[in-house]
Chains A and B, each alone.
Chain A
Amino acid sequence: NAGVMQNPRHLVRRRGQEARLRCSPMKGHSHVYWYRQLPEEGLKFMVYLQKENIIDESGMPKERFSAEFPKEGPSILRIQQVVRGDSAAYFCASSPGGKEGYTFGSGTRLTVV
């Protein structure tokens, strides 16, 4: 089992560009969660998805951020028109169902220059 796979590991974008972060959950896991971690800070919940459905997006900024988890393929976190404040580590976690059994990926470190 390859675990939760995130790519890319590092992503550099200029202000105004789009960033796409990918997350492939562990085999058998149908629940995906995205978190943002700023330097020296905790993990801030962004969005919770199941296949083809957004369950809870209460932590997502209202503008420029979107997430999807299609029937086929990885979950995608998309950030449009990035700004310097979007620079952070973005972690994805997956679980077989609900809150127990969370496994995190290695994260994508986004740098906006």
Chain B
Amino acid sequence: GENVEQHPSTLSVQEGDSAVIKCTYSDSASNYFPWYKQELGKRPQLIIDIRSNVGEKKDQRIAVTLNKTAKHFSLHITETQPEDSAVYFCAASSGSQGNLIFGKGTKLSVKP
């Protein structure tokens, strides 16, 4: 089955700096890669996703890149703000199945 590795586990940046979170996946048949943001005590919420026929997608300050050959994808947050502080999870679809497999999360802290 699918296995997703996520790094780093914690990330601290100064307000205004960029943050990058990286994930690798194992199942070459996976074709959908969403990113979720979870604030303390709250539900995970989808912030951006990418499909395997696209190499990059951007939405305002966040962007995701996908390298299918290397089986890795990354989340980029520019001009970070304190409200970006949260745990971020990457995920990959489990081949033909409908369920998502998640990485272990990255705790991002943005210091004002």
Contacts and interface: CB of A to CB of B under 8 A. Distances in A.
Contact of A97 (B34, B98, B102): B98
B98 A41 contact: no
Interface majority SS on A: helix, strand, loop or mixed? strand
A39 to B, nearest CB: 11
Nearest to B107: A40
Interface stretch (A15-23, A73-81, A101-109): A101-109
A87 to B, nearest CB: 16
A41 B46 contact: no
B102 A45 contact: yes
B49 A56 contact: no
Interface residues of B, number: 23
A91 interface: yes
Interface in A46-80: 48, 55-56, 58
Contacts of A58: 1
B49 A45 contact: no
Nearest to A107: B43
A99 B32 contact: yes
B101 interface: yes
Nearest to B2: A45
Contacts of B101: 45
A48 B1 CA distance: 15
B74 interface: no
B104 A48 contact: no
B10 to A, nearest CB: 10
B38 to A, nearest CB: 9
A56 B104 contact: no
Interface of B: 1, 6, 32, 34, 36, 42-46, 49, 89, 93-94, 97-105
Interface of A: 31, 33, 35, 41-45, 48, 55-56, 58, 91, 95, 97-100, 102-107
